[in-house]
Amino acid sequence: MKALILGSTGYTGMMLMRILSSHPQIDQIIPTSRSVAGQSVIAEDPGLHASIVEKLAGTDGCYVEFGEVDLGSVDVVFSALPHKTAASMIGPIVGTVPVIDLSADFRLVDREVYERVYGTTHPHPELLEKSVYGLSEWNRDEIRTASIIACPGCYPTATLLPLLPFAHLIDYPVIVDALSGISGAGRKEERNLLFNERSENMNAYNPGRVHRHVPEIVQELRRAVSAGSSAGSSAGTPADILFTPHLVPIKQGMLVTATARLTSPMSQEEAEAIVTDAYASSPFVNLTTRSTPQSRDVRNTNRCDLSVRVHGDHIQLFSALDNLYKGASGQAIQNMNIRLGLDERSGLRLSGEF
């Protein structure tokens, strides 16, 4: 099978290259890039091994311009472009080839919310209703036939996986404090991302309801609350969230600590059973054997490790994942596996670091 990547030189594009280069069912990769078209992939990204050229036969080992690619033989397109650019590039090809988008462009159902949050008009609003939200564990059936799969951001993935099984069992707002590695901010040459500004440093930012990922999290929580019970927890503002991201000096890693009041009593065993049941057939999501998850356990894997703790009338949920892997490119490949009828685990790493 043949996979094309739009935007191959950012961190998520580079991670896609790594996973696809050792994916057993992918024979050919077409890395496109506007900025470095015509240049050698290995020279641009020396972490890739020279043997990747076997899968780059169609491009002579070089990045190519998207416009020069014959899409006819391509089995799947990944977009690792920034938002808006993604929708503009993807729009014309939707329907002709399965598209897996890592940007924010097709995550939000409501065009107005998108345009307010991202401060721009949507280039292809007509595609919003065709898009499937690519949180793999919760939307497998729809992903199997989707024309566009909108992969969630890293914060929503790390927040929703622990919260969704409890969405209809808790009061709102949930208090979510998230810790992110620096690569979550992308490969931008910004002062705030320099080694000297981040090592031995940490801070919260955009607290409360202002982070761009909040509407996406709230949208999915509400969907789950509606689905979760006929009654719903419809009183008050449903599925509200106070979300505070923190930057910590780690390259790849994300941790979520979510705290909420339970709507009715629950034992520690019941809480654990809810998690276990929800992810019984999901190889990448599991209760950790630790009391709380550690980010190194899942570094460079597609896993999300969870734990849960009941404190009287409150519940705390913990998750850890790699923001570039399960939080981005790994989940994108997981969605490809589902979409193309492959084993969901194919080509994806399971064991993390120590």
Query: 34: which 2 tokens?
Result: 């506007």
Half-sphere exposure of 259 (CA within 13 A, CB side): 8
Taking CB under 8 A as the criterion, the residue among 1, 242, 274, 340 binding a copy of itself is: 242
Diameter of the chain measured on Cα atoms: 62
Binding mask 270-309 for a copy of itself (x = CB under 8 A): -------------x--x-xxxxxxxxxxxxxx-x-x---x
Span 14-33, contacts to a copy of itself by CB under 8 A: 14-15, 18, 21-22
Span 122-141, contacts to a copy of itself by CB under 8 A: none
**Closest distance of CB 294 from a copy of itself, Å:** 4
Taking CB under 8 A as the criterion, the residue among 140, 222, 223, 251 binding a copy of itself is: 251
**Closest distance of CB 346 from a copy of itself, Å:** 12
11 makes contact with a copy of itself (CB under 8 A) = yes
Taking CB under 8 A as the criterion, the residue among 199, 230, 234, 267 binding a copy of itself is: 199
Please identify, among the stretches 72-80, 89-97, 188-196, 325-333, the one whose residues bind a copy of itself according to the rule CB under 8 A: 188-196
The answer to whether the CB of 119 falls within 8 A of the CB of 112 is no
Number of residues that bind a copy of itself (CB under 8 A): 85
For a copy of itself, give the closer residue by CB, 32 or 131.
32
Distance in angstroms (rounded) separating the CA atoms of residues 242 and 225: 17
The position carrying tokens 């050919």 is 28
The answer to whether the CB of 39 falls within 8 A of the CB of 62 is yes
218 makes contact with a copy of itself (CB under 8 A) = no
Q: What are phi and psi of 307, to 5 degrees?
A: -150, 165
Taking CB under 8 A as the criterion, the residue among 70, 72, 119, 189 binding a copy of itself is: 189
For a copy of itself, give the closer residue by CB, 183 or 331.
183
Please identify, among the stretches 61-69, 71-79, 120-128, 193-201, the one whose residues bind a copy of itself according to the rule CB under 8 A: 193-201
Q: What are phi and psi of 182, to 5 degrees?
A: -70, -25
For a copy of itself, give the closer residue by CB, 131 or 300.
300
Query: 62: which 2 tokens?
Result: 């070089």
Distance in angstroms (rounded) separating the CA atoms of residues 185 and 188: 7
Span 51-80, contacts to a copy of itself by CB under 8 A: 51-52
For a copy of itself, give the closer residue by CB, 67 or 236.
236
Assign 344 to helix, strand or coil: coil
42 makes contact with a copy of itself (CB under 8 A) = yes
Taking CB under 8 A as the criterion, the residue among 65, 126, 208, 227 binding a copy of itself is: 208
Q: Are strands 76-79 and 99-101 parallel, antiparallel or unpaired?
A: parallel
Which amino acid, one-letter code, is at 86? Answer: A
The long-range contacts involving 116-125, CB below 8 angstroms and separated by at least 24 positions, are: 117/212, 117/215, 118/83, 118/84, 118/212, 120/83, 120/84, 122/84, 122/87, 123/84, 123/87, 123/88, 123/91, 124/87, 124/88, 124/90, 124/91, 124/94
